[in-house]
Amino acid sequence: MKIAVCIKQVPTREWQPRLNDARTWIREQEASYEMNEPDAYALEEGLRLREKHGGEVVVCSAGPARVQQVIREALARGADRAVHVEDEALGAADAFTAAAALTPAMQEERFDLILTGLQSDDQGHAQFGPVLAEKVGVPHSTIIMEVQADPAASSMKVKRELEGGWFQYVTMPLPALLTIQSGINQLRYATLKGIMAAKKKEIRKVAPPAGLASRLKVVALYAPQKSKQTVMIGGSPADAARELVRRLREEARAL
């Protein structure tokens, strides 16, 4: 199977947001970055499918030069090669723009299966996968918890997560695109051998297609407004515990 895994580089979970002067975007250059967690699960699923059915895993990402960090990491974890649609302007790209940027390269490669995370930990649009599927012209399914591929029959059966603890099996033909839910598998981490091997693996750089235009314009970015007056309790752990329990008993009557 020829498998693509689309990954995104996002600010780390520990990152504290800092805004640009116009307060319309973050200060990208000051953020520290990591692989989008749901994409890491998609990568792991791709590696497992390759181990079972043979073929190759190609990691694909759209973004500025800095995204090489997560591409190298994916190669170190076992991906065979990479396609990087590189442009400085793609750092703040929305899902639609990122999908449009990757579409020509994805069409040219003719993958049997395209995997990606169900959403990104930064912008969180949850649009990239289904939009890419529509643009490439393959069927899709989202929030997947299990993949049983049958490459010989050009078919697969997947387990979709529905809301509130419900699931559903869906059969569809290959080629296709799936968005992967976190927790579908147990992640592997890069070994020293993998890190060394990654240095020799190919990263094909591609320019984005002309005429990319974002349709979502962020006019203001700000910290969320509190919906509640939160009573912050300070002091030593013992003092804070005493005060919290007192308030829960006397004020909130929750105990």
Nearest partner of 56 among 110, 2, 115, 112, judged by Cα: 2
**CA 43-214-133 angle, 5° bins:** 40
Q: Which of 153, 163, 199, 200 binds other proteins (CB under 8 A)?
A: 163
Spatial contact of 218 and 26, defined as CB atoms under 8 Å apart: no
Cis previous bond, 38, omega within 30: no
Residues 138-166, buried b or exposed e (16+ Cβ, 10 A)? bebbbbbeebebebeeeebebbbbeeeee
List the x/- string, 33-72, binding to other proteins by CB under 8 A.
----------------------------------------
Q: Which is nearer to other proteins, 3 or 99 (CB)?
A: 99
Residue with tokens 């250059």: 29
Q: Which is nearer to other proteins, 192 or 220 (CB)?
A: 220
> CA-CA distances (angstroms) from residue 175 to 16, 101, 164?
40, 20, 30
Q: With binding defined as CB under 8 A, does residue 219 bind other proteins?
A: yes
Q: Which is nearer to other proteins, 153 or 192 (CB)?
A: 153
Q: Which of residues 90-149 bind other proteins (CB under 8 A)?
A: 95-96, 99, 118, 121-131, 133-135, 139-143
Q: With binding defined as CB under 8 A, does residue 164 bind other proteins?
A: yes
Q: Which is nearer to other proteins, 28 or 56 (CB)?
A: 28
Query: Minimum Å distance from CB 116 to other proteins?
Result: 12
Query: Minimum Å distance from CB 246 to other proteins?
Result: 9
Q: With binding defined as CB under 8 A, does residue 171 bind other proteins?
A: yes
Stretch that binds other proteins, among 61-69, 83-91, 156-164, 199-207 (CB under 8 A): 156-164
Q: With binding defined as CB under 8 A, does residue 210 bind other proteins?
A: no
Q: Which is nearer to other proteins, 167 or 209 (CB)?
A: 167
Q: How far apart are the C-alpha atoms of 30 and 66, rounded to whole Å?
A: 12
Spatial contact of 9 and 121, defined as CB atoms under 8 Å apart: no
Q: Which of 189, 210, 222, 250 binds other proteins (CB under 8 A)?
A: 222
Query: Minimum Å distance from CB 171 to other proteins?
Result: 4
Query: In the structure encoding, which two tokens stand for residue 26, read together?
Result: 């973050």
Query: Minimum Å distance from CB 227 to other proteins?
Result: 6
Nearest partner of 98 among 196, 234, 218, 209, judged by Cα: 209
Residue with tokens 């407004």: 225
Residue with tokens 């930990």: 121
Query: Minimum Å distance from CB 98 to other proteins?
Result: 12
